[in-house]
Structure 1
Amino acid sequence: MRQNIKTYPAQQLAYVQTNIQNYCGSEGDKMGFSSNYIEGKGTFPHGVHPPERKRFSEDSAIEVMPPPKQVTLPLLQNIGAPSKSVVKPKQTIACNDLLAEAGGFVSSNLHAPISGKVQKNVNVTLPNGRHVSAISVKADGDQISGQALFDDVLGGEWPTTDLEKYDSKTITDAVQKAGIVGLGGAAFPTHVKLIPNPNKPVDTLIINGCECEPYLTPDYRLMIEAPDAIISGALLAAQAAGAKSIYIGIEKTSPKQLLCLKKRHRELESP
């Protein structure tokens, strides 16, 4: 794996191409990593490198699942403090309404994924065996679904210029209010990561667009179908954290998304 890295100011985007080289020639054989930019031998010959097999899904557009008839939402969904419910049983709520507010600094707001009525409070068991309170909502009334839901989340106009008018607190407050969390397993609240630390300044923001898992291509499809949201989000995150440079990591085996992001970024920069 060889990295070619270029650095640009935060108003632009730098694209890090991750070049994957199979040293043994056949898919699934031993693979290694090498880099001209890292001290040492620059190779990692060990580890598991299964066949990627992205071809099964990389050309399939994102599909929006139909809205469920009922949802149960644990009040603890990250490694921080549980959220605190702000709704009552029998209360009618609309999609995106606030159901629970953050219970601490490392916590997150919880919003309704469907419209409906709040049911009786319930307890659920998490995969780690912990018992926690949960909010149950039964669907009722019209639901946003299909392309309308996709457009509501990822469509519309995304700011990419004049971001200087948004200070760090404005951006991090908006992220916290929206309940945005990471999707790496810990569901770590994103606003915590973006708040700048004067003692440990951040100079570079890295957006990880590499998907190492076999078969999975959601990031690949998002970069193709919703590049505006990714570009705008990267610029706003850099503005909040004080980063001067942005890198987007993309596998060289996926050149289509690289071209798509570059093309769209040029279009957004054009007057």
Structure 2
Amino acid sequence: MTDNDPSAAPDTGRAALRADCANCFGLCCVALTLTVSADFAINKDAGRPCPNLQDDFRCGIHTRLRPKGFSGCTVYDCFGAGQKVSQETYAGQDWRSSPDTAQQMFQVFPVVRQLRELLWYLTEALTLSAAASLHPEIRRAIEATERHSDGSAEALAELDVAAYRGGISDLLLRTSALVRASAPRRKKRDHRGADLIGARLKGADLRGADLRGAYLIAADLSGADLRLADLIGADFRDADLAGADLTGSLFLTQAQLNAAKGDAATRLPPSLTRPAHWD
């Protein structure tokens, strides 16, 4: 559920990791919990269909999500887990026609979503020449993650995905360290998990910074240089990225861009697209 057309993004070997809502049974509209906030206009328990979900598994207000108070839907990205679970794990058997599978399907979907997100990061890591010494290990991690993703519904439901994610995280940290080592003046740039909500970082030189998991909500990053910055899990909700340079940044996702604000001068990695709601 994004503001942009995923098919418009250049193919960097991640085609299968892009959401294909036409081949999904509306899983993100059912399996996830919604809480009334700036992101969602309603409360909804996990396992209960959103009232905007139609019989054909399409969103009835897709073109009006933001004005209707569902901006959170426009930034969510399942990394292709929706169609993976719908068409492969459950072989096209939907939860409405086979209600006995519904509970398990809703349990499996977020597990596969996390695995697909890891594949997004690992696929990028394999393109980073500075981390060439880790490429054999990265390839093995990709193969293992794909095996889990291709597993049966029962195996996926039993997978300790948090523990598995922890092992991959260590590999991505080592990859990040190798790549960021080439950035100038990288000392004292550890902002991992930092509270930078509303921070005034206009024009800041953040090359090589570790911003993993940083809270950058409503931060002013206009004109900032974020090349070689590690952005895994950074919260860019309402952050101002006008004129910022994100080319060469590490592990940035489309969902992070969709949550932020930007303009025509914002420079993006070639694998990502400019959100439709940007100026």
- Which structure carries more relative contact order (alpha carbon 8 Å, separation 6+)? 1
Instruction: With the length of structure 2 as denominator, give the TM-score of the two structures.
Output: 0.22
TM-score scaled by length of structure 1 = 0.22
Larger fraction in strand: 1
